[in-house]
Amino acid sequence: MSKIDKSDRINIAASPWSVFRWNPTDGCKVIAITHPLSVIYEAARHRPVSDAICFPKAVMLELLPLDDASNPFHLHHMGQAIDEALVADAEDEVPVGCVIVSLARGEVIAKAHNQKERLQDPTAHAEIVAITQAAASLGSWRLEQCILYVTLEPCAMCAGAIVQARMPLVVFGCTDPKAGACVTLFRLADDPRLNHRARVVGGVMADRCAHLLSQFFARKRALGKK
């Protein structure tokens, strides 16, 4: 790598970035995050970040907004939500999984999947279970520095819970044409009439998320024909 002149470096302390460090297993390094629009990341560069108070402007060119469904931060965490959906599938629950990331802590603080059948609880959607876990982990119902990842577009109940938890961002996999309340049937999460609104990003690993659901319901239909 060529030597970088000091004039080509940016002082984090003089910018609005809230710095944290987190190292997912896929090799990406999240260096810093702004509220809550963009992530600066390095993919497989393995550049030390111990002195991340300053870093090259070149890294700024790799900035991807959090409303970009291809953001590696989203892909990594949606992968974890899919893992939870697979657990639900193995338990004969509708395969929907959810994880919640705390930006303040720089870590996942909740993982959950649908448990309606197991608990015989109509409210035991993956999002509701995960939000309860996250609030317990933080000791606060206000999840203002958290991102929720879920494999299926939240329903009206879950979208309402996201708003009540003051979450700034919800990221989902595939849309729900029958019950989706974030973009498909309603826009509850970012309704301007509400006192709090969450930004919504959809379509992250949508095909894989939808495939899990279609396989599950195909098996159910096949069993019903026997």
202 closest CA partner among 179, 223, 182, 188 = 182
Catalytic residue selected from 84, 127, 144, 153 = 127
Q: Looking only at Cα atoms, what is the longest distance across the chain?
A: 72
Three-state DSSP state, 26: coil
Please report how many Cα atoms fall inside a 13 Å half-sphere around the Cα of residue 153, on the Cβ side. Answer: 23
Q: Which amino acid is at 111?
A: K
Contact (CB, 8 A) for 66 and 39 = yes
127 flagged as catalytic? yes
The rounded distance, in Å, linking the Cα atoms of 48 and 129 is 37
- The residues annotated with a catalytic role in the active site are 127
